[in-house]
Amino acid sequence: MIHCGSRTRPVLTGAKHTGRQLVLFRQGAGRTVAEALRRAAGIRLAVSSDLDGATSRTDLALGEGLLFERVGAALIHGDPDQARALVRRADPRALIIEPERYVRASGAVQPLSDAALPLRDTAFETWGLKATRALSSRYSGRGIRVAILDTGFDLGHPDFAGRGIASRSFVAELPVDDVNGHGTFCAGVACGPEQPRDAPRYGIASAAELHVARVLDDEASGTDGNVLAGIDWAVGHNCAVISISLGSPVYLGDGYPEVYEHVAARALAAGSLLIAPAGNESQRPDSIAPVEHPANCPSVVAVGAVGPSLEVAPFSNGGLNPNGGEVSLVAPGIAIVSAAPRPDLYQTGSGTSMATPFVAGVAALLAEARPAARGAALRKLLLETFRGLAAPVRDVGVGLVQAPQ
Protein backbone atom coordinates (compact mmCIF):
# COMPACT_ATOMS: atom_id res chain seq x y z
CA MET A 1 0.00 0.00 0.00
CA ILE A 2 1.27 3.48 -0.90
CA HIS A 3 1.04 6.15 1.78
CA CYS A 4 1.10 9.83 0.85
CA GLY A 5 1.62 12.87 3.02
CA SER A 6 4.15 15.25 4.47
CA ARG A 7 6.00 12.80 6.68
CA THR A 8 9.75 12.39 6.20
CA ARG A 9 10.59 9.93 3.45
CA PRO A 10 13.14 7.17 4.15
CA VAL A 11 16.49 7.74 2.48
CA LEU A 12 17.58 5.16 -0.10
CA THR A 13 20.99 4.64 1.41
CA GLY A 14 22.45 2.84 -1.59
CA ALA A 15 21.82 5.78 -3.90
CA LYS A 16 23.88 8.89 -4.63
CA HIS A 17 21.88 12.11 -4.73
CA THR A 18 22.22 15.08 -7.08
CA GLY A 19 21.05 17.81 -4.69
CA ARG A 20 17.86 18.39 -6.69
CA GLN A 21 14.35 17.31 -5.71
CA LEU A 22 11.64 15.16 -7.28
CA VAL A 23 8.10 16.28 -6.55
CA LEU A 24 4.91 14.29 -7.05
CA PHE A 25 1.61 16.16 -7.44
CA ARG A 26 -1.91 14.86 -7.31
CA GLN A 27 -3.24 13.47 -10.57
CA GLY A 28 -4.47 16.27 -12.81
CA ALA A 29 -2.61 19.11 -11.11
CA GLY A 30 -1.30 20.03 -14.55
CA ARG A 31 -0.13 23.47 -15.60
CA THR A 32 -1.65 25.19 -12.56
CA VAL A 33 1.35 23.86 -10.64
CA ALA A 34 3.80 25.80 -12.80
CA GLU A 35 1.98 29.09 -12.34
CA ALA A 36 1.47 28.55 -8.59
CA LEU A 37 5.17 27.89 -8.09
CA ARG A 38 6.10 30.97 -10.07
CA ARG A 39 3.80 33.18 -7.97
CA ALA A 40 4.36 31.78 -4.49
CA ALA A 41 7.86 30.38 -4.63
CA GLY A 42 9.65 32.18 -7.43
CA ILE A 43 10.50 28.84 -9.02
CA ARG A 44 10.67 29.04 -12.80
CA LEU A 45 8.95 25.81 -13.77
CA ALA A 46 9.00 24.89 -17.46
CA VAL A 47 6.54 22.34 -18.84
CA SER A 48 8.11 19.35 -20.62
CA SER A 49 5.46 19.14 -23.34
CA ASP A 50 6.24 22.75 -24.35
CA LEU A 51 9.91 22.05 -25.05
CA ASP A 52 10.75 21.91 -28.74
CA GLY A 53 13.68 20.47 -30.66
CA ALA A 54 15.57 17.19 -30.53
CA THR A 55 17.02 17.94 -27.07
CA SER A 56 15.05 18.88 -23.94
CA ARG A 57 16.86 20.49 -20.99
CA THR A 58 17.09 18.89 -17.57
CA ASP A 59 20.27 20.83 -16.60
CA LEU A 60 18.49 23.25 -14.27
CA ALA A 61 19.95 26.36 -12.66
CA LEU A 62 19.16 27.15 -9.02
CA GLY A 63 15.52 28.20 -8.76
CA GLU A 64 14.49 26.40 -11.94
CA GLY A 65 12.30 23.34 -12.40
CA LEU A 66 10.72 21.14 -15.03
CA LEU A 67 7.16 19.80 -14.84
CA PHE A 68 6.50 16.38 -16.39
CA GLU A 69 2.87 17.15 -17.05
CA ARG A 70 1.71 13.75 -18.33
CA VAL A 71 2.79 11.86 -15.20
CA GLY A 72 2.23 14.62 -12.64
CA ALA A 73 5.80 14.95 -11.36
CA ALA A 74 8.46 17.67 -11.40
CA LEU A 75 12.20 18.18 -10.98
CA ILE A 76 13.26 21.23 -8.93
CA HIS A 77 16.72 22.64 -8.29
CA GLY A 78 16.80 24.22 -4.85
CA ASP A 79 17.77 23.73 -1.22
CA PRO A 80 15.83 20.65 -0.01
CA ASP A 81 14.21 22.28 3.06
CA GLN A 82 13.50 25.51 1.22
CA ALA A 83 12.15 23.68 -1.81
CA ARG A 84 9.86 21.61 0.42
CA ALA A 85 8.48 24.67 2.17
CA LEU A 86 8.04 26.62 -1.05
CA VAL A 87 6.32 23.78 -2.85
CA ARG A 88 3.92 23.14 0.05
CA ARG A 89 3.07 26.83 0.19
CA ALA A 90 2.66 27.14 -3.56
CA ASP A 91 0.50 24.05 -4.02
CA PRO A 92 -0.86 21.88 -1.17
CA ARG A 93 -1.51 19.19 -3.76
CA ALA A 94 2.16 18.23 -3.64
CA LEU A 95 2.18 14.72 -2.20
CA ILE A 96 5.78 13.57 -1.99
CA ILE A 97 9.18 15.23 -2.23
CA GLU A 98 12.25 13.01 -2.59
CA PRO A 99 15.91 13.60 -3.48
CA GLU A 100 16.90 13.00 -7.08
CA ARG A 101 19.33 10.12 -7.60
CA TYR A 102 22.08 9.39 -10.06
CA VAL A 103 21.49 6.30 -12.22
CA ARG A 104 23.68 4.29 -14.57
CA ALA A 105 23.35 1.51 -17.12
CA SER A 106 22.97 -2.00 -15.69
CA GLY A 107 25.34 -3.92 -17.95
CA ALA A 108 28.37 -3.59 -20.17
CA VAL A 109 29.46 -4.73 -23.60
CA GLN A 110 32.31 -7.19 -23.76
CA PRO A 111 33.96 -9.74 -26.12
CA LEU A 112 32.11 -13.02 -26.57
CA SER A 113 33.73 -15.95 -24.78
CA ASP A 114 34.82 -18.97 -26.82
CA ALA A 115 33.82 -21.33 -24.01
CA ALA A 116 31.39 -24.13 -24.83
CA LEU A 117 27.81 -23.09 -24.13
CA PRO A 118 24.74 -25.37 -23.76
CA LEU A 119 22.75 -22.95 -25.93
CA ARG A 120 24.79 -21.54 -28.79
CA ASP A 121 24.30 -18.78 -31.31
CA THR A 122 23.71 -20.16 -34.79
CA ALA A 123 23.88 -18.60 -38.24
CA PHE A 124 20.17 -17.84 -37.93
CA GLU A 125 19.51 -16.76 -34.33
CA THR A 126 21.20 -15.90 -31.06
CA TRP A 127 20.85 -18.22 -28.10
CA GLY A 128 18.63 -15.68 -26.37
CA LEU A 129 16.04 -15.83 -29.13
CA LYS A 130 16.11 -19.61 -28.92
CA ALA A 131 15.64 -19.59 -25.14
CA THR A 132 12.68 -17.20 -25.35
CA ARG A 133 11.13 -18.96 -28.40
CA ALA A 134 11.04 -15.64 -30.24
CA LEU A 135 11.97 -17.03 -33.65
CA SER A 136 8.95 -19.35 -33.78
CA SER A 137 6.47 -16.65 -32.72
CA ARG A 138 3.86 -15.63 -35.28
CA TYR A 139 4.03 -12.05 -33.97
CA SER A 140 6.51 -9.26 -34.77
CA GLY A 141 5.28 -6.32 -32.65
CA ARG A 142 3.68 -4.67 -35.68
CA GLY A 143 1.84 -1.50 -34.72
CA ILE A 144 3.25 -1.50 -31.17
CA ARG A 145 5.30 1.44 -29.93
CA VAL A 146 8.34 0.50 -27.84
CA ALA A 147 10.41 3.16 -26.07
CA ILE A 148 14.08 2.59 -25.21
CA LEU A 149 15.39 4.96 -22.49
CA ASP A 150 19.19 4.72 -22.59
CA THR A 151 22.35 6.25 -24.13
CA GLY A 152 20.60 6.98 -27.43
CA PHE A 153 20.78 5.09 -30.71
CA ASP A 154 22.79 4.97 -33.94
CA LEU A 155 20.07 6.35 -36.21
CA GLY A 156 22.13 5.45 -39.29
CA HIS A 157 22.61 1.76 -38.44
CA PRO A 158 22.07 -0.21 -41.68
CA ASP A 159 20.02 -2.90 -39.96
CA PHE A 160 17.40 -0.24 -39.17
CA ALA A 161 17.34 1.44 -42.57
CA GLY A 162 13.81 2.38 -43.56
CA ARG A 163 12.44 2.04 -40.02
CA GLY A 164 10.61 5.12 -38.79
CA ILE A 165 12.28 5.98 -35.45
CA ALA A 166 11.02 8.73 -33.16
CA SER A 167 13.76 10.16 -30.96
CA ARG A 168 14.49 12.84 -28.35
CA SER A 169 17.50 13.57 -26.14
CA PHE A 170 16.97 14.62 -22.54
CA VAL A 171 20.70 14.99 -21.82
CA ALA A 172 21.95 18.56 -22.06
CA GLU A 173 24.03 19.36 -25.15
CA LEU A 174 24.07 15.76 -26.38
CA PRO A 175 22.19 14.55 -29.46
CA VAL A 176 20.37 11.24 -29.71
CA ASP A 177 23.35 9.67 -31.54
CA ASP A 178 24.79 6.87 -29.41
CA VAL A 179 28.52 6.99 -28.62
CA ASN A 180 28.53 4.54 -25.72
CA GLY A 181 26.75 1.69 -27.51
CA HIS A 182 24.55 0.59 -24.60
CA GLY A 183 21.39 2.15 -26.02
CA THR A 184 21.94 0.77 -29.51
CA PHE A 185 22.48 -2.67 -27.96
CA CYS A 186 19.22 -2.54 -25.99
CA ALA A 187 17.22 -1.21 -28.93
CA GLY A 188 18.66 -4.04 -31.04
CA VAL A 189 17.56 -6.78 -28.65
CA ALA A 190 14.06 -5.35 -28.20
CA CYS A 191 13.36 -4.29 -31.80
CA GLY A 192 16.15 -5.57 -34.05
CA PRO A 193 15.35 -6.64 -37.64
CA GLU A 194 14.19 -10.01 -38.84
CA GLN A 195 17.16 -10.23 -41.21
CA PRO A 196 20.28 -8.33 -40.05
CA ARG A 197 22.88 -7.42 -42.65
CA ASP A 198 25.76 -9.48 -41.29
CA ALA A 199 24.75 -11.27 -38.08
CA PRO A 200 22.31 -13.89 -36.83
CA ARG A 201 18.90 -12.53 -35.91
CA TYR A 202 19.26 -10.84 -32.53
CA GLY A 203 16.03 -8.81 -32.09
CA ILE A 204 12.60 -9.78 -30.77
CA ALA A 205 9.94 -7.32 -32.02
CA SER A 206 11.26 -6.75 -35.54
CA ALA A 207 8.28 -4.72 -36.76
CA ALA A 208 7.65 -2.60 -33.64
CA GLU A 209 7.70 1.19 -33.86
CA LEU A 210 10.90 2.25 -32.11
CA HIS A 211 10.96 5.34 -29.89
CA VAL A 212 14.36 6.36 -28.50
CA ALA A 213 14.74 8.68 -25.52
CA ARG A 214 18.33 9.51 -24.62
CA VAL A 215 18.52 9.79 -20.82
CA LEU A 216 22.16 8.71 -20.20
CA ASP A 217 25.39 10.43 -21.23
CA ASP A 218 28.37 9.00 -23.11
CA GLU A 219 29.54 7.24 -19.93
CA ALA A 220 26.08 5.65 -19.49
CA SER A 221 25.30 7.82 -16.44
CA GLY A 222 22.33 10.05 -15.80
CA THR A 223 19.79 11.28 -13.26
CA ASP A 224 16.24 10.56 -12.18
CA GLY A 225 15.14 13.80 -13.83
CA ASN A 226 16.39 12.62 -17.23
CA VAL A 227 14.59 9.31 -16.79
CA LEU A 228 11.30 10.89 -15.71
CA ALA A 229 11.50 13.23 -18.69
CA GLY A 230 11.92 10.20 -20.95
CA ILE A 231 9.00 8.36 -19.33
CA ASP A 232 6.81 11.45 -19.66
CA TRP A 233 7.72 11.70 -23.37
CA ALA A 234 7.12 7.99 -24.02
CA VAL A 235 3.73 8.08 -22.29
CA GLY A 236 2.84 11.13 -24.39
CA HIS A 237 3.74 9.13 -27.51
CA ASN A 238 1.45 6.26 -26.43
CA CYS A 239 4.26 3.73 -26.12
CA ALA A 240 2.82 0.42 -24.89
CA VAL A 241 6.25 -0.69 -23.61
CA ILE A 242 8.97 1.43 -21.99
CA SER A 243 12.33 -0.32 -21.52
CA ILE A 244 14.66 1.32 -18.99
CA SER A 245 17.99 -0.55 -18.74
CA LEU A 246 19.44 1.50 -15.89
CA GLY A 247 19.26 1.88 -12.16
CA SER A 248 20.78 2.84 -8.84
CA PRO A 249 21.73 0.37 -6.07
CA VAL A 250 19.81 0.05 -2.82
CA TYR A 251 20.65 -1.67 0.43
CA LEU A 252 18.87 -4.40 2.36
CA GLY A 253 15.88 -2.85 4.08
CA ASP A 254 15.56 0.15 1.74
CA GLY A 255 12.11 1.02 0.49
CA TYR A 256 11.12 1.85 -3.05
CA PRO A 257 10.97 5.49 -4.21
CA GLU A 258 7.33 6.58 -3.99
CA VAL A 259 7.61 9.28 -6.64
CA TYR A 260 8.72 6.67 -9.15
CA GLU A 261 6.06 4.21 -8.01
CA HIS A 262 3.31 6.77 -8.55
CA VAL A 263 4.75 7.69 -11.95
CA ALA A 264 4.93 3.99 -12.94
CA ALA A 265 1.34 3.43 -11.75
CA ARG A 266 0.16 6.48 -13.72
CA ALA A 267 2.03 5.22 -16.78
CA LEU A 268 0.26 1.86 -16.39
CA ALA A 269 -3.09 3.63 -16.16
CA ALA A 270 -2.21 5.50 -19.37
CA GLY A 271 -1.38 2.20 -21.12
CA SER A 272 2.44 2.16 -20.80
CA LEU A 273 4.30 -0.72 -19.11
CA LEU A 274 7.68 0.06 -17.50
CA ILE A 275 10.37 -2.66 -17.53
CA ALA A 276 13.71 -2.28 -15.71
CA PRO A 277 16.74 -4.40 -14.72
CA ALA A 278 17.10 -6.00 -11.30
CA GLY A 279 20.77 -4.92 -11.27
CA ASN A 280 24.25 -6.44 -11.37
CA GLU A 281 25.59 -5.95 -7.84
CA SER A 282 25.60 -9.62 -6.80
CA GLN A 283 28.61 -11.92 -6.62
CA ARG A 284 26.97 -15.31 -6.43
CA PRO A 285 27.13 -17.59 -4.58
CA ASP A 286 28.87 -15.54 -1.88
CA SER A 287 26.65 -12.45 -1.91
CA ILE A 288 23.31 -11.43 -3.39
CA ALA A 289 22.33 -7.77 -3.66
CA PRO A 290 18.73 -6.46 -3.56
CA VAL A 291 16.80 -5.45 -6.68
CA GLU A 292 17.81 -1.88 -7.51
CA HIS A 293 15.91 1.36 -8.15
CA PRO A 294 13.62 1.83 -10.11
CA ALA A 295 12.97 -1.89 -10.69
CA ASN A 296 12.13 -2.17 -6.98
CA CYS A 297 8.87 -0.24 -7.54
CA PRO A 298 5.80 -2.52 -7.35
CA SER A 299 4.42 -1.19 -10.67
CA VAL A 300 7.69 -1.77 -12.58
CA VAL A 301 8.57 -5.19 -14.04
CA ALA A 302 11.94 -6.20 -12.54
CA VAL A 303 14.11 -8.37 -14.80
CA GLY A 304 16.87 -10.72 -13.67
CA ALA A 305 19.38 -12.48 -15.94
CA VAL A 306 20.20 -16.09 -16.78
CA GLY A 307 22.99 -17.68 -18.81
CA PRO A 308 22.98 -20.26 -21.64
CA SER A 309 22.43 -23.14 -19.20
CA LEU A 310 19.42 -21.17 -17.85
CA GLU A 311 21.28 -20.76 -14.58
CA VAL A 312 20.99 -17.50 -12.67
CA ALA A 313 23.72 -15.10 -13.78
CA PRO A 314 26.31 -14.61 -11.02
CA PHE A 315 25.82 -10.82 -11.09
CA SER A 316 21.98 -10.82 -11.11
CA ASN A 317 20.35 -9.24 -8.06
CA GLY A 318 17.72 -11.03 -5.98
CA GLY A 319 14.38 -10.28 -4.38
CA LEU A 320 15.54 -9.57 -0.86
CA ASN A 321 13.39 -6.54 -0.05
CA PRO A 322 9.60 -6.94 0.18
CA ASN A 323 6.85 -4.72 -1.25
CA GLY A 324 8.21 -4.25 -4.75
CA GLY A 325 11.78 -5.46 -4.30
CA GLU A 326 11.06 -8.83 -5.89
CA VAL A 327 12.37 -10.16 -9.21
CA SER A 328 9.40 -10.41 -11.60
CA LEU A 329 10.94 -12.77 -14.18
CA VAL A 330 14.24 -13.42 -15.98
CA ALA A 331 15.63 -13.32 -19.51
CA PRO A 332 18.93 -14.11 -21.26
CA GLY A 333 21.70 -11.84 -20.00
CA ILE A 334 25.12 -13.45 -20.62
CA ALA A 335 27.11 -13.23 -23.88
CA ILE A 336 24.25 -11.57 -25.76
CA VAL A 337 24.80 -10.42 -29.37
CA SER A 338 23.12 -7.22 -30.59
CA ALA A 339 23.60 -4.06 -32.64
CA ALA A 340 26.49 -1.61 -32.10
CA PRO A 341 27.05 1.94 -33.36
CA ARG A 342 28.95 2.22 -36.63
CA PRO A 343 31.53 1.22 -37.71
CA ASP A 344 31.39 -1.94 -35.57
CA LEU A 345 27.68 -2.71 -36.22
CA TYR A 346 27.61 -5.66 -33.76
CA GLN A 347 28.73 -6.31 -30.19
CA THR A 348 28.19 -8.66 -27.25
CA GLY A 349 27.25 -7.81 -23.70
CA SER A 350 26.26 -9.23 -20.34
CA GLY A 351 24.05 -7.79 -17.62
CA THR A 352 20.47 -7.41 -16.50
CA SER A 353 20.48 -4.44 -18.92
CA MET A 354 20.74 -6.99 -21.71
CA ALA A 355 17.96 -9.13 -20.24
CA THR A 356 15.52 -6.22 -19.91
CA PRO A 357 15.01 -5.55 -23.66
CA PHE A 358 14.28 -9.26 -24.21
CA VAL A 359 11.30 -8.80 -21.90
CA ALA A 360 10.38 -5.51 -23.58
CA GLY A 361 10.40 -7.20 -26.99
CA VAL A 362 8.25 -10.08 -25.78
CA ALA A 363 5.85 -7.58 -24.20
CA ALA A 364 5.51 -5.94 -27.64
CA LEU A 365 4.66 -9.32 -29.18
CA LEU A 366 2.04 -9.91 -26.50
CA ALA A 367 0.62 -6.42 -27.07
CA GLU A 368 0.20 -7.25 -30.76
CA ALA A 369 -1.35 -10.64 -29.95
CA ARG A 370 -3.79 -9.10 -27.47
CA PRO A 371 -4.73 -5.61 -28.73
CA ALA A 372 -6.89 -4.90 -25.68
CA ALA A 373 -4.07 -5.69 -23.23
CA ARG A 374 -2.34 -2.48 -22.24
CA GLY A 375 -0.87 -1.18 -19.00
CA ALA A 376 -1.76 -3.41 -16.04
CA ALA A 377 -3.44 -5.96 -18.33
CA LEU A 378 -0.26 -6.30 -20.41
CA ARG A 379 1.81 -6.66 -17.24
CA LYS A 380 -0.49 -9.48 -16.05
CA LEU A 381 -0.26 -11.22 -19.42
CA LEU A 382 3.53 -10.91 -19.46
CA LEU A 383 3.87 -12.50 -16.03
CA GLU A 384 1.68 -15.39 -17.17
CA THR A 385 3.87 -16.17 -20.20
CA PHE A 386 6.94 -17.94 -18.87
CA ARG A 387 8.93 -21.16 -18.59
CA GLY A 388 9.46 -22.44 -15.07
CA LEU A 389 13.05 -22.78 -13.87
CA ALA A 390 14.69 -24.88 -11.16
CA ALA A 391 15.76 -21.85 -9.14
CA PRO A 392 14.33 -19.92 -6.19
CA VAL A 393 11.53 -17.41 -6.87
CA ARG A 394 13.80 -14.93 -5.08
CA ASP A 395 16.18 -15.11 -8.04
CA VAL A 396 13.97 -15.78 -11.10
CA GLY A 397 10.47 -14.64 -10.17
CA VAL A 398 7.87 -16.60 -12.14
CA GLY A 399 10.56 -17.90 -14.53
CA LEU A 400 12.01 -17.33 -18.00
CA VAL A 401 10.05 -15.00 -20.30
CA GLN A 402 8.56 -16.72 -23.39
CA ALA A 403 7.32 -15.27 -26.67
CA PRO A 404 3.67 -15.95 -27.64
CA GLN A 405 3.29 -18.56 -30.38
pLDDT > 80? residue 14:
no
Chain mean pLDDT for the chain: 88
- Average pLDDT of the residues in 272-277: 98
CA 240 to chain centre: 13
pLDDT digits (tens, 9 = 90+) for 345-392: 999 999 999 999 999 999 999 999 999 999 999 999 999 999 999 999
Helix (H, G, I), strand (E, B) or coil at 253: coil
In this prediction, residue 233 has a pLDDT band, given cuts at 50, 70 and 90, of: very high
pTM for this prediction? 0.90
- Position with higher pLDDT, 204 vs 72: 204
pLDDT digits (tens, 9 = 90+) for 171-199: 999 999 999 999 999 999 999 999 999 99
CB 68 within 8 A of CB 23: no
User: What whole-number distance in Å separates Cα of residue 77 and Cα of residue 85?
Assistant: 13
CB 382 within 8 A of CB 301: yes
pLDDT digits (tens, 9 = 90+) for 147-167: 999 999 999 999 999 999 999
Per-residue b/e over 43-53, b at no fewer than 16 CB within 10 Å? bebbebeebee
Element (H, E) at 355: helix 352-369
pLDDT > 50? residue 40:
yes
Supply the pLDDT for residue 333.
97
Annotated catalytic sites, by residue? Answer: 150, 182, 353
Supply the pLDDT for residue 24.
86
pLDDT digits (tens, 9 = 90+) for 304-332: 999 999 999 999 999 999 999 999 999 99
Supply the pLDDT for residue 7.
24
